[in-house]
Amino acid sequence: MRKPLAALIIGAALLASSAAGALSYTLSAPVAFNDLTFGISGTLNPVTDLSGTAICLAGTCTSGATQDWLLVSVTLNVGSNAVDRITMSVAGVSAIVGVGHFSDPDETPTSGSVPIASQAWVDYGNPNVSALNLQAGETTDRLFATFSPVGSLPGPGIFPVFPPGTASFVLSSASGANFSVQGTLVLVPEPGTLLLLGGGLLGVALAGRRRL
């Protein structure tokens, strides 16, 4: 009985700490963009898979317990011009403390920084190494910006419930031209925590049946 009960307690604790602690946000839906002036087209992709190892590029961006996260990836269409920088910011927030990416077998940024409090950017081929730019047909790693303190990132699901937040993404071409794209934020589901809690409950049920 002790093992399943311990699993239940751990699962419940994780669920409670998750609800009261840091939250992860992504886009409510893919956002297509097509800038005819600069010839850059593609899609901002929601990110719901939080597995893998996060790599910190700048700032304190690996502590999920004390920070809110914004996660996206970017895909350029075939025929699009290259991009050498992606800037992330959120309306009404000036507490970005880090920027980074997950270890994906995709297009990895060459550097990242938080130039001012309200913006985080990731560079591809900085300074303007064309061979390292995000090219047509490529998708970035899962990118993230981190916000501190907890609750500074406006969005649904935290108390008090804020209106949905709006994130802005600025894509810069290798020539320095740029344009912005907006998207609405939603919470990333946390299946891992729910599975752990469910496993604890199942264990308690099975242990109870054995005793009958």
| Contact call for residues 9 and 205 (beta carbons, < 8 A) | no
Nearest to 77 by CA among 134, 13, 149: 134
Angle between helices 2-20 and 191-211 (to 10 degrees): 150
Question: What is the set of domains in the chain, with CATH numbers?
Answer: 24-188 (2.60.40)
3-state SS class at 147: strand
What is the Cα–Cα distance from 186 to 202, expressed in whole angstroms?
Answer: 30
* Mean predicted lDDT score pLDDT of the chain: 73
What is the Cα–Cα distance from 44 to 40, expressed in whole angstroms?
Answer: 12
- Tens digits of residue pLDDT in 100-155: 888 888 898 988 888 777 788 999 987 667 888 999 999 999 999 888 777 777 65
pLDDT surpasses 50 at 195: no
What is the Cα–Cα distance from 82 to 85, expressed in whole angstroms?
Answer: 10
DSSP string for residues in 172-210: EETTS-EEEEEEEEEEPP-HHHHHHHHHHHHHHHHHHHH
What is the Cα–Cα distance from 104 to 140, expressed in whole angstroms?
Answer: 8
What is residue 62's DSSP assignment? -
CA angle, corner 160, sides to 166 and 167, nearest 5?
A: 10
176 HSE (CA, 13 A, CB side) = 1
Q: Which pTM value belongs to this model?
A: 0.75
**Alpha helical stretches, state H, the chain:** 2-20, 191-211
Both tokens of residue 64? 């999920």
- Tens digits of residue pLDDT in 20-67: 467 888 999 999 999 988 899 999 999 999 887 766 676 555 555 567
| Contact call for residues 105 and 73 (beta carbons, < 8 A) | no
CA R_g for the chain: 20
What is the Cα–Cα distance from 109 to 85, expressed in whole angstroms?
Answer: 9
Task: Give pLDDT, residue 76.
Answer: 96
